[in-house]
A and B are shown apart, each in its own frame.
Chain A
Amino acid sequence: MTTLLKVQNLRKSFGGVAATDDVNLDVTEGELHAIIGPNGAGKTTLITQLSGAQKPDSGSVTFKGTNITRAPAHARAKLGITRSFQITSLVMDMSVMDNVALAVQAKEGHSFRFLKPARKVKNLRDEAREMLVQVGLGDRADEPTIELSHGEHRLMEIAIALASGAELMLLDEPMAGLGSEESAKMVSFLLGLKGEKTILLIEHDMDAVFALADRISVLVYGKIIATGTPDEIRNNDDVRHAYLGEE
Chain B
Amino acid sequence: MTGFKRSSWITLATMVGLLILPPVFFWTGNAFYLDLATRLVILGIAATSLNLVLGYGGLISFGHAAYIGIGAYAVGIPVYHEFYGGFESVASTNGLFQIGMAVVISALFALITGAISLRTKGVYFIMITMAFAQMAYYLFISLDEYGGDDGLVIEVRSELPLINLDNPIQLYLVCWVSLAAAMLIVRTIIHSRFGMVLQGAKGNNERMVTLGYNTYLYRLVAYVISGAMAGFAGALMGNFSSFISPEMMAWSRSGELMFMVILGGSATTLGPVLGSMVFIVVEEVLSSFTIYWHLPFGLMLIGIVLYVRGGLMGLFKGKGD
B209 in complex: contacting residue of A74, A105, A112, A116, CB < 8 Å: A74
Asked if B319 CB lies within 8 Å of chain A CBs, one says no
Asked if A159 CB lies within 8 Å of chain B CBs, one says no
Chain A residues 74-93 with CB under 8 Å of chain B are 74-75, 77-78, 82-83, 85, 89-93
A98 in complex: contacting residue of B189, B196, B213, B215, CB < 8 Å: B196
Q: Do A111 and B207 contact each other (CB < 8 Å), given the known contacts A74-B214, A94-B199?
A: no
Chain B residues 164-195 with CB under 8 Å of chain A are 188-189, 191-195
Which residue on chain B has the smallest CB distance to residue A170? B210
- Give A84 to B280 CA distance when docked, in angstroms: 48
Q: Do A91 and B210 contact each other (CB < 8 Å), given the known contacts A112-B221, A113-B193, A121-B193?
A: no
Which residue on chain A has the smallest CB distance to residue B195? A118
- Give A101 to B210 CA distance when docked, in angstroms: 14
Set of chain B residues within 8 Å of A101, measured between Cβ atoms: 196
Chain B's interface size range is 20 to 34
* Cβ–Cβ contact B209 & A93, under 8 A: no
Asked if A114 CB lies within 8 Å of chain B CBs, one says yes
* Cβ–Cβ contact A90 & B196, under 8 A: no
- Give A105 to B193 CA distance when docked, in angstroms: 8
Q: Do A89 and B204 contact each other (CB < 8 Å), given the known contacts A105-B196, A116-B193?
A: yes
Q: Do A114 and B212 contact each other (CB < 8 Å), given the known contacts A92-B204, A93-B203, A94-B199?
A: no
Which residue on chain B has the smallest CB distance to residue A93? B203
* Cβ–Cβ contact A114 & B213, under 8 A: no
Set of chain B residues within 8 Å of A160, measured between Cβ atoms: 211
Asked if B197 CB lies within 8 Å of chain A CBs, one says yes
Set of chain B residues within 8 Å of A73, measured between Cβ atoms: 209-210
* Cβ–Cβ contact B212 & A91, under 8 A: no
**Chain B window 203-230, contacts with chain A (Cβ cutoff 8 Å), 1 for yes, 0 for no:** 1101111111111001001000000000
Shortest beta-carbon distance from A32 to chain B in Å:
20
B191 in complex: contacting residue of A53, A108, A117, A124, CB < 8 Å: A117
Chain A's interface size range is 35 or more
- Give A138 to B210 CA distance when docked, in angstroms: 23
Among B197, B206, B208, B212, chain A packs the most CB atoms within 10 A around the CB of B212
Set of chain A residues within 8 Å of B189, measured between Cβ atoms: 114
- Give A98 to B215 CA distance when docked, in angstroms: 17
Shortest beta-carbon distance from A6 to chain B in Å:
21
Q: Do A78 and B212 contact each other (CB < 8 Å), given the known contacts A91-B200, A92-B203, A94-B203?
A: yes
Asked if A119 CB lies within 8 Å of chain B CBs, one says yes
Among B189, B193, B210, chain A packs the most CB atoms within 10 A around the CB of B210
Set of chain A residues within 8 Å of B194, measured between Cβ atoms: 111-114
Chain A residues 49-98 with CB under 8 Å of chain B are 51, 53, 72-75, 77-78, 82-83, 85, 89-94, 98
- Give A102 to B218 CA distance when docked, in angstroms: 14
Shortest beta-carbon distance from B302 to chain A in Å:
24
* Cβ–Cβ contact B192 & A77, under 8 A: no
Which residue on chain B has the smallest CB distance to residue A92? B203
Question: SS class of chain B's interface: helix, strand, loop or mixed?
Answer: helix
Q: Do A83 and B191 contact each other (CB < 8 Å), given the known contacts A92-B204, A93-B203, A94-B199?
A: no
Set of chain B residues within 8 Å of A103, measured between Cβ atoms: 211
Set of chain A residues within 8 Å of B188, measured between Cβ atoms: 114-115, 117
Among A74, A75, A101, A113, chain B packs the most CB atoms within 10 A around the CB of A74
A164 in complex: contacting residue of B191, B192, B212, CB < 8 Å: B212
* Cβ–Cβ contact B191 & A118, under 8 A: yes
Set of chain A residues within 8 Å of B195, measured between Cβ atoms: 114, 118
* Cβ–Cβ contact A106 & B192, under 8 A: no
Set of chain B residues within 8 Å of A121, measured between Cβ atoms: 193
Which residue on chain A has the smallest CB distance to residue B221? A112
Shortest beta-carbon distance from A106 to chain B in Å:
4
- Give A225 to B210 CA distance when docked, in angstroms: 29
A74 in complex: contacting residue of B191, B193, B200, B213, CB < 8 Å: B213
**Chain A window 218-233, contacts with chain B (Cβ cutoff 8 Å), 1 for yes, 0 for no:** 0000000000000000
* Cβ–Cβ contact A51 & B210, under 8 A: yes
Set of chain A residues within 8 Å of B206, measured between Cβ atoms: 53, 89
Shortest beta-carbon distance from B75 to chain A in Å:
27
- Give A51 to B218 CA distance when docked, in angstroms: 21
- Give A85 to B212 CA distance when docked, in angstroms: 15
- Give A85 to B204 CA distance when docked, in angstroms: 12
A106 in complex: contacting residue of B191, B199, B204, B211, CB < 8 Å: B211
* Cβ–Cβ contact B210 & A83, under 8 A: yes
Which residue on chain A has the smallest CB distance to residue B218? A111
Set of chain B residues within 8 Å of A83, measured between Cβ atoms: 210
Set of chain A residues within 8 Å of B192, measured between Cβ atoms: 113-118
A118 in complex: contacting residue of B196, B204, B213, B221, CB < 8 Å: B196
Shortest beta-carbon distance from A50 to chain B in Å:
12
Set of chain B residues within 8 Å of A111, measured between Cβ atoms: 193-194, 196-197, 213, 218
- 24 A-B Cβ contacts within 8 A? A53-B210, A72-B209, A72-B214, A74-B209, A74-B215, A75-B212, A77-B211, A77-B212, A78-B212, A89-B206, A91-B207, A94-B200, A94-B203, A98-B196, A102-B200, A103-B211, A105-B197, A107-B212, A112-B194, A114-B192, A115-B192, A117-B191, A118-B193, A164-B212
